[in-house]
Structure formats: C-alpha cells, structure tokens
Homo-oligomer: A and B are copies of this chain.
Amino acid sequence: MEAVVIDEILTEVREALARDDWDRAVSLIEALRPADQADLFSDLEPQEQDELLPHLDVEDSADILEEMDEEEAAEVASRLEMDDLVRILDEMEPDEAADLLGDIRPEQAVRALEAMTDADEVRLLMAHEDESAGGLMTPAPVVLHRDMTVEEAITHLRRAAPDTETVYYLFVVDDDNRLVGVVSLRQLVIAEPETPIEVIMDPDVIYVQAGTDQEECARLMSRYDLLALPVTDAQGHLLGLITHDDLVEVLEEEATEDIYRLGGVPEEEDVDAPPWESLRTRLPWLVLNIATALISATVLSLFEGTIAQVAALAAFFPIVAGVSGSAGTQTLTVIVRSLALGEVEPRRGLRVLAKEVGIGIVNGIALGLLVALIAAIWKGMPALGLIVGIAMLLNLIAAGLAGVLVPLFLSLVGIDPALASPILVTTTTDTCGYFIYLGLATIALKGLL
C-alpha cells in the first residue's frame, strides 16, 4: 500500500484513539495487511501503541510484532503486561517468538517463557545463533511418515490444517525422525490416493545442519530455487525448516550489509537510528581513516621540499591520487560482489588479476595521455605533463593490482572483503600516487624549472 494512503489511515486511527473510539481504531487496522498494519503501528506514539494493543485481536498483535523492525518490536514488547506478552508470543511463529525473546530484557524473557504454552519449541530455537540455519528455522508444521499413503498424508494434512505458509513442501521422516525424503504438495495433489509416499517422494533432499551460516542457506535456496530448506542435527534428525520469506529477508540483509560496509559503515544502521548509535559505529571508522591517511601525509611530508619549489604540482594531487582511487574502487567492487555471489574462485584469481592489470594499463595509457595534455597546456609545462602522465599510468596499474589482491587476500584469511577493502585500496592508491608522482618530480626537478 502506498505511504500516502497509510498516512491517511494513520490520521483516522489517531483521531479515533484521541476520542477513545477503540472499535473504530481496531477496525481500521484490521482491514490492512500485516506489513501495512506494522508500518502504521510503528508510526504511532509509544503511549498510543500501549493503549491500542490490548484492544487488538491477539492474531493481529502477533502479526504486527512479527512484521515490525526487530528493535521497535522489542521496545513495544518490553512495555507490555506479562500476560498480554505471553498470549501474543504463543500466537507468533516460533522462530519470530524466539527472535523477540532474544531482544527483550533477559528477566522478562525468562518469566514469559515460564508462562508460555510453546515454551519448549521456542527454547530449542533460542539455543541457536541468530545468523545460522538453526536461528532462522521454524519447526515443520506437518511432517509425513515414509509408510503413509497419499490418501493418509492428505487426511493427516487436513487434520493438522496448518495456517502457515510452510506446507508447500512436505518432508518425510523415518521412525527415528530422520529426514529421508521430500514430497511437494503439488505431487500429493496430483498423485493417486493409494500411492505410498515412499514411491513419490524424492529421497535426494537438499538440507543443512543447524550451525550453517545464513548466507550459505540463502545461496543454496536461491541456486536451487527452493521454497523451503530443511534443517537437521548432526545425526540427520529433522529440526525445522527455513522458509522462502526468511530467504528474502536474508538476501536483503546480506546485500545491505555489503553496501554499508563498502560505504564505510561497519555496522548496519537504520536511517531513523538515533544519532549516537550512528556515531558509535561511524566515528571509530573515521579515526581509522585518519590513521591510514597519516601514511599518505608522511609521504607528502617527505617531499615538502619539492612541493615548495614547484607548488603547481599540488594541483594534480586530486587527479593522480583521487582518480586512481576511483579506478581501484571500480575493480574492488567487481571483485567483492563476485566473491559474495560465489562467482570468483581462488583458481581463477590469476586470470582476474591479469585482466584487471590489463585494464589498468589501457586506462593508464588513455588517461595518462589526457591528463598529460591537460597539465602541459594548463600550466604551460610539458615536463609537468610528462610526469603527471607517467604517474597516472603507474598508479592505475597499482590500482588494478590492489583492487584484486586486497579483497582476495582478505577473503582467504577470513576477513569480510567488503569491510576492509575500500580503505586499504584507497590508502594504496593515495600513498603510491603521491610517492610515484612526487618521486618522479623530484628526480626531474631540473627539467621542470
């Protein structure tokens, strides 16, 4: 729904709340889809949220908390009366309930778990890392046994009548709850009723163990077009499922993380995050930037004599160092994204390096000639043009080298290349750029004057 429409409904809800007309407020919200309900609800003031929530259906309350931003949901939950909280948690999907319990105060979470009906299921899920398969999964709502027939399976499904979206694939287990196969709901519907499940099931199931990283789970689901990915323990017992809505969330989360890190924001932050939270992650990163900038500053200091003699040299700093920095960033962007999508393998490293250095040479010749010409004409010093041009060529080759080697090396030693590559590559292009350019100028100083 469009933001404008939600804003209009928000105004109406607020007016209804102001005159204590709960029925009107509730019916306005009930008419919306969960994602829109959550958007509207999070735009209310805390006091309005607290007044409204007890009047909503427990299903709607659960939907709203599931769809809201995790931190916001935790804030709302921590202001709830204990019995309201417990009712809502019992209504939520177990994986979402486990996430929410992990985000509120531990004392509150412990008390809520003691009172919950689904406590065991949720406790099991809370035992896993948030960003692992175990943290993403939700218990399978319906599991088939290998000895059932199609007809028995459909009756079993009808009886369970799950209201979840996780039953498009039905996983099949043996007596010991070990995962042995998968049947799609489609196969079940189109097969003859008396067919044994074992005959129509596909025994070759793609699954992960509970400790698998969420990025790897998303890669498998996206590569093999899976709607659900079963999660097992080390012995192959079925623990739960990762569903397609989790996949979409993980994909967006991982893309956002990469974009943030490449942009020098080490931890993801919401645009609405309070300023001190943004400062907490951004300021240390800028201090690190200053530390690396001091390396280039030292190089510039070494050549103070040369700069004092030919101040015109300074005009080309942004071109020699800055433009090569952009070229290095282009290269590292392609490499980092390919690493994230699993498209670059180590054995291909040399081929990619050769290609990027080749691009650096061609870029270097083309841009070197261009800036040589600009420098020669603008400053009327052909020798300056020559120096700028050669420095440009050499630094663009350095940019290509750094743009490939830095992310590949970081990835090999297990550091996220998106996090550290930009700062290391631009430090290289800055430092090399100043050193080559001013070094050449110092050597050629007689020719320049």
Contacts and interface: CB of A to CB of B under 8 A. Distances in A.
Interface of A: 3, 33, 35, 154, 157-158, 161-162, 165, 167-168, 185-186, 188-190, 221-225, 227, 244-245, 247-248, 251-252, 255-256, 258-260, 262-265, 269-272, 275, 278-279, 282-283, 285-287, 289-290, 293-294, 296-298, 300-301, 304-305, 307-308, 311-312, 314-319, 321-323, 326-327, 329-330, 332-338, 341-345, 348, 352, 355, 358-359, 362-363, 366-367, 370-371, 374, 423, 426, 430
B275 A359 contact: yes
Contacts of A312: 301, 304
Contacts of A374: 290, 294
B344 A259 contact: no
A171 to B, nearest CB: 15
Contacts of A279: 359, 362-363
Contacts of A363: 279, 282-283, 286
A252 B251 contact: yes
A435 B259 CA distance: 30
Given A154-B189, A329-B264, A430-B322, A255 B248 contact: no
Chain A's interface: helix, strand, loop or mixed, by majority? helix
Contacts of A371: 290
A150 to B, nearest CB: 11
Contacts of A322: 289, 293, 296, 426, 430
A311 B318 contact: no
A257 to B, nearest CB: 10
11 contacts: A3-B345, A158-B190, A185-B189, A251-B255, A258-B259, A260-B334, A263-B330, A271-B338, A286-B323, A286-B367, A318-B430
A265 B319 CA distance: 18
Nearest to A159: B190
A301 B311 CA distance: 8
B337 A318 contact: no
Nearest to A346: B3
Nearest to A165: B225
B294 A319 contact: yes
A260 B258 CA distance: 11
A158 B279 CA distance: 60
A321 to B, nearest CB: 8
Contacts of A186: 162, 165, 167-168, 185
Contacts of A223: 35
A265 B334 contact: yes
A342 B154 CA distance: 41
Contacts of A258: 255, 259
A260 to B, nearest CB: 6
Contacts of A221: 248
A228 to B, nearest CB: 11
